[in-house]
Amino acid sequence: YAMLLSLIFLIVLVAAIVGFVFRHEIKTNFESNLNVALKDYNVTADRHSEAVDTIQRTLHCCGVQNYSDWERTEYFSQRGIPRSCCKNQNDCSEEDLKDPNKAKLKVFVDGCFFLVTSTMESKMSVVAGISFGIACFQLIGIILSCCLSRYITNNQYEMV
């Protein structure tokens, strides 16, 4: 049992170390994937477009770095900035969303990349605390199972 707990403990430890070491690559990949999602954004509700809309509505942001990122997309030439960027859905017309100067007043101007990464980093302390607590319980389990194993072994020799 101690060996099994030790193996699980090592797997969790390696996963935590790998996540910490490669956190910058995760950010870079997220930024490039968000750029691709903006470039491929379309009216038909595919998973990537829905994800972009959900992020923009939930975090009150627009684009990757800012709202002007939409100007470089094919969607902007057809329909302007998506409605998920609007501060007030009732006060956002398609004409306003096609004009970047008018849109600046109607949409969220902050980019989503910074907001998503800062939200993830703020939640990492909670995840780290929970992981540390689980690791402590695993270590206690390893120590207690080793003590139990020694106790059982000692008692068997005394009986003979």
What pLDDT does residue 91 have? Answer: 82
- Residue count of the chain, please give it: 160
The whole-number pLDDT of residue 60 equals 92
> What local confidence, expressed as pLDDT, does residue 155 receive?
60
* pLDDT for the residue numbered 148: 84
Q: Nearest CA to 29 among 122, 109, 120, 127?
A: 120
- In this prediction, residue 3 carries a pLDDT of 84
pLDDT of residue 44: 60
| Closest to 27 measured CA to CA, from 128, 113, 125, 127 | 113
Packing angle, helices 112-159 and 23-39, rounded to 10: 140
Name 52's Cβ contacts closer than 8 Å, sequence gap at least 6.
Answer: 34, 37, 38, 41, 82, 84
Question: What whole-number distance in Å separates Cα of residue 49 and Cα of residue 38?
Answer: 8
Per run of 10 residues, the mean pLDDT along the chain (length 160 residues) is: 84 79 81 88 77 90 90 87 88 84 88 87 78 84 85 62
Fold (CATH) for 1-158:
Cd81 Antigen, Extracellular Domain; Chain: A (1.10.1450)
Domain positions in the chain are: 1-158
| Residue 139 burial (CB count, 10 A) | 13
112: CB partners within 8 A, 6+ apart: 34, 55, 56, 59, 61, 62, 63, 64
